[in-house]
Amino acid sequence: MGGGGGRGKRSVRGRATPSTTAAEEEEEEEEERKREEGEGILATEEDLGEDDGEELQAAWVPRLRVRGRTRPRACQSRQPRMTPWRLLRCCQWTAAWVPVLFIAVVICWSYYTFVVELCLFTIAAQEEEGKAAIYLVIFHLSFVLFMWSYWKTIFTPPVCPSKEFFLSQSDEEHYEKEERPEVQQEILKRVAKELPVYTMTSTKLIRYCEKCQLIKPDRCHHCSVCNKCVLKMDHHCPWVNNCVGFSNYKYFLLFLFYSLVYCILVTTTVLEYFIKFWTLCRRKSAENCPKTNLRNTRAQFHVLFLFFVATMFFISILSLFCYHLWLVGKNRTTIEAFRAPVFLNGPDKNGFSLGWSKNWRQVFGDEKKYWLFPIFTSLGDGVHFPTRLMMDKEHVTGTNHHEHTRSSGSTQNFSVGPLSESKNFLLATGSEQDVSSGNIYLLYLLL
């Protein structure tokens, strides 16, 4: 009995029942069919290259979505994911445009209020069509110049240093492997020998950007928002979502100027009707008069609010514009106003000042007819800057360089490094240039 029972159990283990065999055969057939479908399409990560994985993902993902099956592990690892860092960068990019969008909304609303509510529904309705036409012509002239300057300030990309300021691959590898700061400085000095670099750090070292891996030209700084080094960087302005530097500083000044003109024009033209509407509103509120024209009430609201907004912006922009006019007169950037550039003879806030007239022309150019238009007329290339004082003949890196003078009685020669001419700017050569004023120090290409 015991032996028979044991044999019975062994027969059950060794031989499957008909129902069990059918279920296992179906599972094996299903697995075989899945294997055949995936054969030639799926591959292991070891057999796939980087390009093959991307092609595999593009070919396999649509099929998986249609059939509703789970994506293989190899494809899951190669699928681009929205990492927290990418999500943060996306949010930062979106938030950076919020101030610009706010200014755009205010400008559009002010345009509608002045043109429609004031000129058409208020002034023209009082049979003063000639007055309304004059207002519209003057308003649109200032509006076009204002928007032109604002557009150029926003969408003019900041200029970065040219390739001559970057370390070569061998120097970069040597610099990164070297742990001794003094040896790293020797590497930078050797590279900077032929570069027009005259300013240093506060500790008399070569100004080097670890993020961009380049030797910073004079007046160049790294912008943490744009994540790049910007030539003659003044500041990063959130209201234009752009770095204000060598390429768009003139546009920024004109933007501030035409903003003031725009606010003054709106305030002075609206003031008459602001007083009328204000007294009318006070009289109606005193009399508790419920019967008012809906169109007149809407126009009154827009005109009153426009006066307050224009006055508020005028006061805030006026102080900023006056400050930047002072900076232009001193030939300083906002950064240099707070932290003086360091030369071989020490820090000097007025190191680049050449006098008010020359400082002004360095930003706006020699052609007076282009000063009020947002067209690039600044002198130089953003790398070479004449200095106020006589520079020592010894270069920052230990080599000789040309002397920079402030004399106004003779033409000046300025050092020219081994830089290729930019397609946007031309740098004056060492030869003397004769002009009517007798004092020109850089040639430029007018954009």
Q: Are 414 and 404 in contact (CB under 8 A)?
A: yes
More confident call, 82 vs 136: 136
The token duo for 428 is 């004056």
Q: Are 441 and 412 in contact (CB under 8 A)?
A: yes
Please determine, for residue 74, whether its predicted confidence score (pLDDT) is greater than 90. Answer: no
Instruction: Give the tokens for residue 423.
Output: 């397609």
Q: What is the pLDDT of residue 126?
A: 80
Give residue 227's identity as a one-letter amino acid code. Answer: N
Residue 366 class from Cβ within 10 Å (0-12 exposed, 13-18 middle, 19+ buried)?
Answer: middle
**Global pTM?**
0.69
Q: What is the CA radius of gyration of the chain?
A: 35
Q: Give the span between the Cα atoms of 20 and 17, in whole angstroms.
A: 5
CA distance 256 to 251: 9
pLDDT tens digits along 115-154: 999 998 888 888 788 999 999 999 999 999 999 999 999 9
Q: What is the pLDDT of residue 307?
A: 93
Summarize the confidence of residues 34-49 as an average pLDDT. Answer: 48
Does the pLDDT at position 193 exceed 80? Answer: yes
Residue 237 catalytic? yes
Other C-beta atoms closer than 10 Å to the C-beta of 238 total 14
Q: What's residue 421's pLDDT?
A: 34
Which one has a higher pLDDT value, 156 or 435?
156
CB 400 within 8 A of CB 389: no
Closest listed residue to residue 229, CA positions, set 205, 213, 252: 213
How confident is the model over 378-427, as pLDDT tens digits? 999 999 999 876 433 334 444 444 333 333 333 333 333 333 333 233 22
* CA atoms of 141 and 373, how far apart (whole Å): 12
Q: What is the mean pLDDT of residues 71-93?
A: 65
pLDDT at 36: 57
Helices and strands: H and E segment counts in the chain: 13, 8
How far apart are alpha carbons 410 and 82 in whole angstroms?
A: 62
- What tokens were used for 13? 């283990």
Unique residue bearing structure tokens 């060794």: 14
Between 277 and 44, the more confident residue is: 277
* CB-based contacts of 356, cutoff 8 Å, min separation 6: 329
Is the pLDDT at 197 greater than 80, yes or no? yes
Cα separation, 282 vs 294, whole angstroms = 17
Locus of tokens 């008399």 = 204
Chain mean position to CA 12: 78
Q: Compute the mean pLDDT over every residue in the chain, rounded to the nearest whole number.
A: 75
Tell me the C-alpha distance between 375 and 314, whole Å.
24
CA–CA distances in Å: residue 157 to residues 251, 262, 362: 12, 25, 20
Of 220, 237, 243, 263, the active-site residue reads 237
Measured CA to CA in angstroms, residue 272 lies from 127, 137, 190, 304, 317 at distances of: 16, 19, 68, 11, 23
DSSP string of 132-184? HHHHHHHHHHHHHHHHHHHHHHHHSPPP---GGGBPPHHHHHHHHH---HHHH
pLDDT at 420: 34
Q: Up-side HSE of residue 24: CA atoms within 13 Å toward CB?
A: 7
Specify the higher pLDDT residue, 10 or 82: 82
| Choice between 167 and 291, residue whose per-residue pLDDT is larger | 167
Q: Is the pLDDT of residue 188 over 90?
A: yes
Question: Does the pLDDT of residue 194 top 70, yes or no?
Answer: yes
Residue whose token pair is 């009153």 = 304
Q: What residue has token string 């024009």?
A: 265
N-term to C-term CA, the chain: 108
Which residue type, as a one-letter code, is found at position 277? F
- Selected residue with higher pLDDT from 142 and 21: 142
Higher local confidence (pLDDT), 438 or 99 = 99
Nearest to 247 by CA among 328, 152, 359: 152
> Can you give the length of the chain in residues?
447
Q: Residue 393 is encoded by which pair of tokens?
A: 């003949």
Q: What are the tens digits of pLDDT across the range 326-341?
A: 999 999 999 999 999 9
Q: What is the DSSP pairing of strand 214-215 with strand 221-223?
A: unpaired
pLDDT at 257 over 80: yes
Provide the pLDDT confidence category of residue 288 given band limits of 50, 70 and 90.
low
Q: Which two tokens stand for residue 59?
A: 């070919």
pLDDT of residue 88: 85
- The answer to whether the beta carbons of residues 354 and 363 sit under 8 Å apart is no
Percent share of the chain, pLDDT over 90:
49
- 303 membership: H or E segment, kind and range: helix 294-330
Specify the pLDDT at position 82: 62
Greater pLDDT, 201 or 77: 201
pLDDT bin (cut points 50, 70, 90) of residue 359 is very high
